[in-house]
Chain A
Protein backbone atom coordinates (compact mmCIF):
# COMPACT_ATOMS: atom_id res chain seq x y z
CA UNK A 1 0.00 0.00 0.00
CA UNK A 2 1.35 3.37 -0.96
CA UNK A 3 2.02 6.10 1.62
CA UNK A 4 -0.73 8.22 0.05
CA UNK A 5 -3.25 5.38 0.35
CA UNK A 6 -2.21 4.79 3.98
CA UNK A 7 -2.66 8.46 4.82
CA UNK A 8 -6.08 8.45 3.15
CA UNK A 9 -7.20 5.38 5.12
CA UNK A 10 -5.94 6.90 8.38
CA UNK A 11 -7.88 10.08 7.76
CA UNK A 12 -11.07 8.18 6.94
CA UNK A 13 -10.62 6.23 10.17
CA UNK A 14 -10.12 9.47 12.11
CA UNK A 15 -13.31 10.93 10.70
CA UNK A 16 -15.31 7.77 11.40
CA UNK A 17 -13.90 7.59 14.94
CA UNK A 18 -14.85 11.21 15.59
CA UNK A 19 -18.39 10.64 14.31
CA UNK A 20 -18.68 7.50 16.43
CA UNK A 21 -17.50 9.39 19.51
CA UNK A 22 -20.32 11.92 19.08
CA UNK A 23 -22.88 9.16 18.45
CA UNK A 24 -21.76 7.22 21.53
CA UNK A 25 -21.81 10.37 23.66
CA UNK A 26 -25.36 11.15 22.48
CA UNK A 27 -26.50 7.59 23.20
CA UNK A 28 -24.98 7.76 26.70
CA UNK A 29 -26.65 11.12 27.45
CA UNK A 30 -29.98 9.78 26.18
CA UNK A 31 -29.69 6.55 28.16
CA UNK A 32 -28.51 8.16 31.40
CA UNK A 33 -30.64 11.30 31.40
CA UNK A 34 -33.08 12.05 28.56
CA UNK A 35 -35.15 8.86 28.64
CA UNK A 36 -35.84 9.21 32.37
CA UNK A 37 -37.88 12.33 31.75
CA UNK A 38 -40.05 11.10 28.88
CA UNK A 39 -43.72 10.98 29.77
CA UNK A 40 -44.75 7.44 28.80
CA UNK A 41 -48.18 7.46 30.40
CA UNK A 42 -51.06 6.21 28.31
CA UNK A 43 -53.85 8.62 27.35
CA UNK A 44 -56.04 7.03 30.02
CA UNK A 45 -53.42 7.66 32.68
CA UNK A 46 -52.91 11.23 31.50
CA UNK A 47 -56.64 11.87 31.70
CA UNK A 48 -56.54 10.95 35.40
CA UNK A 49 -53.59 13.18 36.18
CA UNK A 50 -53.78 16.64 37.63
CA UNK A 51 -55.31 18.53 34.76
CA UNK A 52 -56.89 21.74 35.92
CA UNK A 53 -59.19 21.73 32.91
CA UNK A 54 -60.69 18.36 33.89
CA UNK A 55 -61.21 19.37 37.54
CA UNK A 56 -62.94 22.72 37.06
CA UNK A 57 -65.97 23.75 39.11
CA UNK A 58 -69.34 24.28 37.38
CA UNK A 59 -68.37 21.94 34.55
CA UNK A 60 -70.63 18.94 33.86
CA UNK A 61 -67.67 16.85 32.68
CA UNK A 62 -65.43 17.75 35.62
CA UNK A 63 -63.99 14.92 37.71
CA UNK A 64 -64.53 16.75 41.01
CA UNK A 65 -67.06 15.72 43.65
CA UNK A 66 -70.18 17.84 43.23
CA UNK A 67 -72.18 18.65 46.34
CA UNK A 68 -75.28 20.76 46.01
CA UNK A 69 -75.38 23.43 48.73
CA UNK A 70 -78.28 25.88 48.77
CA UNK A 71 -76.54 28.67 50.68
CA UNK A 72 -73.98 30.25 48.33
CA UNK A 73 -71.38 32.83 49.32
CA UNK A 74 -71.98 36.36 48.12
CA UNK A 75 -70.20 39.68 48.29
CA UNK A 76 -66.42 39.71 48.55
CA UNK A 77 -65.49 36.14 47.57
CA UNK A 78 -62.19 34.82 48.99
CA UNK A 79 -59.64 34.01 46.28
CA UNK A 80 -58.50 30.38 46.65
CA UNK A 81 -55.22 28.82 45.58
CA UNK A 82 -53.12 25.85 46.64
CA UNK A 83 -51.20 22.67 45.99
CA UNK A 84 -51.65 20.53 42.89
CA UNK A 85 -52.52 17.49 44.97
CA UNK A 86 -55.38 19.37 46.66
CA UNK A 87 -56.80 21.12 43.58
CA UNK A 88 -59.78 18.77 43.02
CA UNK A 89 -60.81 19.33 46.64
CA UNK A 90 -60.73 23.13 46.72
CA UNK A 91 -62.25 23.22 43.26
CA UNK A 92 -65.10 21.15 44.78
CA UNK A 93 -65.47 23.72 47.61
CA UNK A 94 -65.86 26.44 44.97
CA UNK A 95 -68.37 24.31 43.08
CA UNK A 96 -70.41 23.88 46.27
CA UNK A 97 -70.60 27.40 47.67
CA UNK A 98 -69.44 29.95 45.10
CA UNK A 99 -71.67 31.54 42.47
CA UNK A 100 -71.10 30.26 38.94
CA UNK A 101 -69.71 33.47 37.51
CA UNK A 102 -66.94 33.65 40.14
CA UNK A 103 -64.55 31.44 38.18
CA UNK A 104 -63.04 32.32 34.85
CA UNK A 105 -60.70 29.97 33.00
CA UNK A 106 -59.30 30.83 29.58
CA UNK A 107 -58.53 27.24 28.58
CA UNK A 108 -55.03 27.35 29.99
CA UNK A 109 -55.01 29.56 33.09
CA UNK A 110 -57.43 31.23 35.44
CA UNK A 111 -57.95 34.88 34.62
CA UNK A 112 -56.91 37.54 37.15
CA UNK A 113 -60.51 38.18 38.19
CA UNK A 114 -61.21 34.50 38.95
CA UNK A 115 -61.88 33.56 42.58
CA UNK A 116 -60.18 30.24 41.93
CA UNK A 117 -56.48 30.21 41.09
CA UNK A 118 -53.85 27.50 40.80
CA UNK A 119 -50.17 28.28 41.31
CA UNK A 120 -49.18 25.17 43.31
CA UNK A 121 -47.66 25.20 46.82
CA UNK A 122 -44.80 27.64 46.22
CA UNK A 123 -46.94 30.13 44.33
CA UNK A 124 -49.83 29.76 46.75
CA UNK A 125 -47.80 30.55 49.87
CA UNK A 126 -46.37 33.60 48.13
CA UNK A 127 -49.87 34.63 47.03
CA UNK A 128 -51.38 34.45 50.52
CA UNK A 129 -48.51 36.49 51.96
CA UNK A 130 -48.65 39.05 49.12
CA UNK A 131 -52.41 39.30 49.49
CA UNK A 132 -53.31 38.02 46.01
CA UNK A 133 -55.00 34.94 47.51
CA UNK A 134 -57.20 34.85 50.62
CA UNK A 135 -57.05 31.14 51.47
CA UNK A 136 -54.54 28.58 50.22
CA UNK A 137 -54.80 24.82 50.62
CA UNK A 138 -51.43 23.23 51.27
CA UNK A 139 -49.27 21.04 53.46
CA UNK A 140 -47.14 22.76 56.12
CA UNK A 141 -45.06 25.69 54.84
CA UNK A 142 -41.28 25.42 54.46
CA UNK A 143 -38.86 27.39 56.64
CA UNK A 144 -38.29 29.80 53.73
CA UNK A 145 -42.03 30.32 53.26
CA UNK A 146 -42.45 31.11 56.98
CA UNK A 147 -39.49 33.49 56.83
CA UNK A 148 -41.02 35.23 53.79
CA UNK A 149 -44.27 35.71 55.73
CA UNK A 150 -42.35 37.08 58.70
CA UNK A 151 -40.38 39.50 56.52
CA UNK A 152 -43.65 40.83 55.12
CA UNK A 153 -45.16 41.07 58.59
CA UNK A 154 -47.83 38.48 57.86
CA UNK A 155 -49.02 36.01 60.48
CA UNK A 156 -50.34 32.88 58.80
CA UNK A 157 -53.31 31.11 60.38
CA UNK A 158 -53.26 27.40 59.58
CA UNK A 159 -56.52 25.50 60.02
CA UNK A 160 -56.22 21.70 59.68
CA UNK A 161 -58.98 20.45 57.38
CA UNK A 162 -58.03 16.81 56.71
CA UNK A 163 -55.38 14.13 56.81
CA UNK A 164 -53.08 12.81 54.17
CA UNK A 165 -50.27 10.27 54.16
CA UNK A 166 -46.76 11.04 53.10
CA UNK A 167 -45.65 8.10 50.99
CA UNK A 168 -42.49 6.68 49.45
CA UNK A 169 -42.55 5.33 45.93
CA UNK A 170 -40.30 3.06 43.88
CA UNK A 171 -40.47 1.42 40.48
CA UNK A 172 -42.61 -1.75 40.38
CA UNK A 173 -39.58 -3.79 39.35
CA UNK A 174 -37.88 -2.96 42.64
CA UNK A 175 -38.30 -6.06 44.88
CA UNK A 176 -38.57 -3.92 48.03
CA UNK A 177 -42.16 -3.45 49.24
CA UNK A 178 -41.65 -2.27 52.80
CA UNK A 179 -39.19 -0.06 54.67
CA UNK A 180 -38.95 1.04 58.28
CA UNK A 181 -38.89 4.76 59.02
CA UNK A 182 -35.33 4.28 60.27
CA UNK A 183 -34.35 2.75 56.91
CA UNK A 184 -35.92 5.66 55.03
CA UNK A 185 -33.96 8.13 57.15
CA UNK A 186 -30.84 6.03 56.53
CA UNK A 187 -31.41 6.10 52.77
CA UNK A 188 -31.92 9.86 52.65
CA UNK A 189 -29.02 10.61 55.00
CA UNK A 190 -26.62 8.55 52.88
CA UNK A 191 -26.12 5.83 55.51
CA UNK A 192 -27.54 3.20 53.13
CA UNK A 193 -26.29 3.46 49.56
CA UNK A 194 -27.37 0.08 48.16
CA UNK A 195 -30.78 -1.54 48.11
CA UNK A 196 -29.22 -4.76 49.43
CA UNK A 197 -28.73 -2.98 52.78
CA UNK A 198 -32.50 -2.60 53.17
CA UNK A 199 -33.67 -5.95 51.80
CA UNK A 200 -33.40 -5.35 48.05
CA UNK A 201 -31.02 -6.20 45.24
CA UNK A 202 -27.42 -5.09 44.80
CA UNK A 203 -28.16 -1.86 42.88
CA UNK A 204 -27.31 1.61 44.14
CA UNK A 205 -30.01 3.74 45.74
CA UNK A 206 -30.98 6.98 44.03
CA UNK A 207 -32.63 9.03 46.78
CA UNK A 208 -34.58 11.53 44.67
CA UNK A 209 -35.46 14.85 46.25
CA UNK A 210 -38.15 17.38 45.27
CA UNK A 211 -38.08 21.09 44.51
CA UNK A 212 -37.37 23.41 47.42
CA UNK A 213 -40.58 24.93 48.75
CA UNK A 214 -42.84 22.19 47.36
CA UNK A 215 -45.23 20.60 49.84
CA UNK A 216 -43.51 17.23 49.50
CA UNK A 217 -40.04 18.65 50.12
CA UNK A 218 -41.20 20.57 53.19
CA UNK A 219 -42.85 17.42 54.56
CA UNK A 220 -39.70 15.40 53.92
CA UNK A 221 -37.46 17.97 55.62
CA UNK A 222 -39.79 17.87 58.59
CA UNK A 223 -39.61 14.04 58.63
CA UNK A 224 -35.79 14.12 58.51
CA UNK A 225 -35.54 16.64 61.35
CA UNK A 226 -31.94 17.72 61.92
CA UNK A 227 -30.49 14.97 59.69
CA UNK A 228 -29.15 16.46 56.44
CA UNK A 229 -30.29 14.86 53.17
CA UNK A 230 -27.85 13.34 50.72
CA UNK A 231 -28.10 12.04 47.13
CA UNK A 232 -25.16 10.05 45.82
CA UNK A 233 -23.81 10.58 42.30
CA UNK A 234 -23.48 6.82 41.69
CA UNK A 235 -27.09 6.33 42.72
CA UNK A 236 -28.28 9.24 40.57
CA UNK A 237 -26.49 7.87 37.51
CA UNK A 238 -26.93 4.14 37.85
CA UNK A 239 -29.21 3.39 40.79
CA UNK A 240 -32.82 2.39 41.36
CA UNK A 241 -34.78 5.40 42.57
CA UNK A 242 -36.92 6.13 45.57
CA UNK A 243 -38.96 9.32 45.91
CA UNK A 244 -41.72 10.76 48.05
CA UNK A 245 -45.03 12.46 47.59
CA UNK A 246 -48.51 12.61 49.05
CA UNK A 247 -50.62 9.47 48.71
CA UNK A 248 -53.46 11.13 46.83
CA UNK A 249 -51.09 12.55 44.23
CA UNK A 250 -49.56 9.14 43.57
CA UNK A 251 -52.66 7.00 43.69
CA UNK A 252 -55.23 9.30 42.08
CA UNK A 253 -53.68 12.14 40.20
CA UNK A 254 -50.57 10.65 38.67
CA UNK A 255 -51.71 7.14 37.93
CA UNK A 256 -48.81 5.14 36.61
CA UNK A 257 -48.73 1.37 36.68
CA UNK A 258 -44.92 1.30 36.81
CA UNK A 259 -44.80 2.92 40.25
CA UNK A 260 -45.72 1.41 43.61
CA UNK A 261 -46.20 2.85 47.08
CA UNK A 262 -44.13 1.27 49.84
CA UNK A 263 -45.58 0.29 53.18
CA UNK A 264 -43.79 1.76 56.20
CA UNK A 265 -43.08 -0.30 59.30
CA UNK A 266 -45.31 -2.98 57.72
CA UNK A 267 -48.32 -0.65 57.30
CA UNK A 268 -49.68 0.28 53.86
CA UNK A 269 -51.18 3.80 53.63
CA UNK A 270 -54.94 3.62 53.05
CA UNK A 271 -57.86 5.63 54.45
CA UNK A 272 -58.16 3.33 57.47
CA UNK A 273 -54.48 3.29 58.47
CA UNK A 274 -54.14 7.05 57.86
CA UNK A 275 -57.17 7.88 60.01
CA UNK A 276 -56.06 5.53 62.80
CA UNK A 277 -52.49 6.94 62.61
CA UNK A 278 -51.30 3.36 62.24
CA UNK A 279 -49.45 4.51 59.11
CA UNK A 280 -46.48 6.33 60.65
CA UNK A 281 -46.33 9.48 58.51
CA UNK A 282 -49.84 10.86 58.30
CA UNK A 283 -50.16 14.59 58.57
CA UNK A 284 -52.74 17.32 58.28
CA UNK A 285 -53.20 19.54 55.31
CA UNK A 286 -54.42 23.06 55.95
CA UNK A 287 -56.51 26.00 54.90
CA UNK A 288 -54.04 28.87 55.37
CA UNK A 289 -54.91 32.56 55.54
CA UNK A 290 -53.44 35.85 56.67
CA UNK A 291 -54.68 36.44 60.24
CA UNK A 292 -55.23 40.13 59.45
CA UNK A 293 -57.46 39.33 56.44
CA UNK A 294 -60.63 41.39 56.88
CA UNK A 295 -62.78 39.50 54.38
CA UNK A 296 -65.63 38.09 56.48
CA UNK A 297 -66.22 35.31 53.97
CA UNK A 298 -62.85 33.75 54.88
CA UNK A 299 -64.24 32.60 58.23
CA UNK A 300 -67.56 31.63 56.64
CA UNK A 301 -65.83 29.42 54.08
CA UNK A 302 -63.55 27.79 56.66
CA UNK A 303 -66.56 27.08 58.89
CA UNK A 304 -68.22 25.42 55.88
CA UNK A 305 -65.10 23.33 55.19
CA UNK A 306 -65.07 22.13 58.79
CA UNK A 307 -68.81 21.39 58.72
CA UNK A 308 -70.28 17.97 57.92
CA UNK A 309 -70.82 18.94 54.29
CA UNK A 310 -67.33 20.39 53.90
CA UNK A 311 -65.76 17.30 55.39
CA UNK A 312 -67.92 15.20 53.08
CA UNK A 313 -66.23 17.01 50.17
CA UNK A 314 -62.82 16.26 51.73
CA UNK A 315 -63.71 12.57 51.96
CA UNK A 316 -65.34 12.25 48.55
CA UNK A 317 -62.37 14.03 46.97
CA UNK A 318 -60.22 11.12 48.17
CA UNK A 319 -58.70 12.45 51.40
CA UNK A 320 -59.24 11.51 55.01
CA UNK A 321 -61.56 13.93 56.85
CA UNK A 322 -60.80 15.17 60.36
CA UNK A 323 -63.59 13.27 62.04
CA UNK A 324 -62.93 9.81 60.57
Chain B
Protein backbone atom coordinates (compact mmCIF):
# COMPACT_ATOMS: atom_id res chain seq x y z
CA UNK B 1 0.00 0.00 0.00
CA UNK B 2 1.60 3.22 -1.08
CA UNK B 3 1.45 6.44 0.96
CA UNK B 4 -1.05 8.09 -1.37
CA UNK B 5 -3.57 5.26 -1.11
CA UNK B 6 -3.10 4.95 2.66
CA UNK B 7 -3.73 8.65 3.30
CA UNK B 8 -6.68 8.64 0.92
CA UNK B 9 -8.28 5.71 2.77
CA UNK B 10 -7.45 7.35 6.12
CA UNK B 11 -9.21 10.53 5.00
CA UNK B 12 -12.26 8.66 3.69
CA UNK B 13 -12.67 6.62 6.91
CA UNK B 14 -12.20 9.72 9.09
CA UNK B 15 -14.71 11.78 7.10
CA UNK B 16 -17.27 8.94 7.08
CA UNK B 17 -16.71 8.33 10.80
CA UNK B 18 -17.17 11.98 11.75
CA UNK B 19 -20.22 12.21 9.47
CA UNK B 20 -21.82 9.17 11.10
CA UNK B 21 -21.22 10.56 14.59
CA UNK B 22 -22.63 13.94 13.56
CA UNK B 23 -25.69 12.29 11.99
CA UNK B 24 -26.30 10.22 15.12
CA UNK B 25 -26.02 13.29 17.34
CA UNK B 26 -28.50 15.20 15.16
CA UNK B 27 -30.94 12.23 15.09
CA UNK B 28 -30.64 11.91 18.89
CA UNK B 29 -31.29 15.62 19.35
CA UNK B 30 -34.35 15.51 17.07
CA UNK B 31 -35.74 12.43 18.83
CA UNK B 32 -35.08 13.99 22.23
CA UNK B 33 -37.00 17.13 21.28
CA UNK B 34 -40.22 15.18 20.69
CA UNK B 35 -39.71 12.43 23.25
CA UNK B 36 -42.23 12.31 26.07
CA UNK B 37 -41.10 11.43 29.56
CA UNK B 38 -43.24 8.30 29.24
CA UNK B 39 -41.30 7.02 26.22
CA UNK B 40 -38.03 7.84 27.96
CA UNK B 41 -38.92 5.79 31.02
CA UNK B 42 -40.31 2.96 28.88
CA UNK B 43 -37.15 2.79 26.77
CA UNK B 44 -34.56 3.20 29.48
CA UNK B 45 -35.68 0.62 31.98
Contacts and interface: CB of A to CB of B under 8 A. Distances in A.
A and B from one assembly? Answer: yes
A208 B43 contact: no
Contacts of A15: 6, 9-10, 13
Contacts of A241: 40-41, 44-45
B21 A39 contact: no
A34 B25 CA distance: 8
28 contacts: A7-B1, A8-B1, A11-B6, A18-B10, A18-B14, A18-B17, A19-B17, A22-B16, A22-B18, A22-B21, A29-B25, A33-B32, A36-B43, A36-B44, A37-B34, A38-B43, A40-B42, A41-B39, A169-B37, A174-B45, A216-B37, A241-B41, A241-B44, A242-B41, A243-B37, A250-B38, A258-B41, A259-B42
Contacts of A169: 37-38, 41
Contact of B13 (A22, A208, A250, A256): A22
Main SS of chain B's interface residues?
helix
A100 interface: no
A254 interface: yes
A254 B38 contact: yes
A14 to B, nearest CB: 8
Contact of B40 (A12, A30, A37): A37
Nearest to A210: B37
Interface residues of B, number: 29
Nearest to B3: A11
A87 to B, nearest CB: 14
Contacts, number: 108
- Closest 7 A/B residue pairs (Cβ): A22-B17, A258-B42, A37-B31, A37-B35, A254-B38, A34-B28, A243-B37
B15 to A, nearest CB: 10
Interface residues of A, number: 43
A240 B13 contact: no
Contact of A38 (B1, B37, B39): B39
A118 to B, nearest CB: 16
Contacts of B32: 33, 37
B16 to A, nearest CB: 7
Interface in A252-268: 254, 256, 258-259
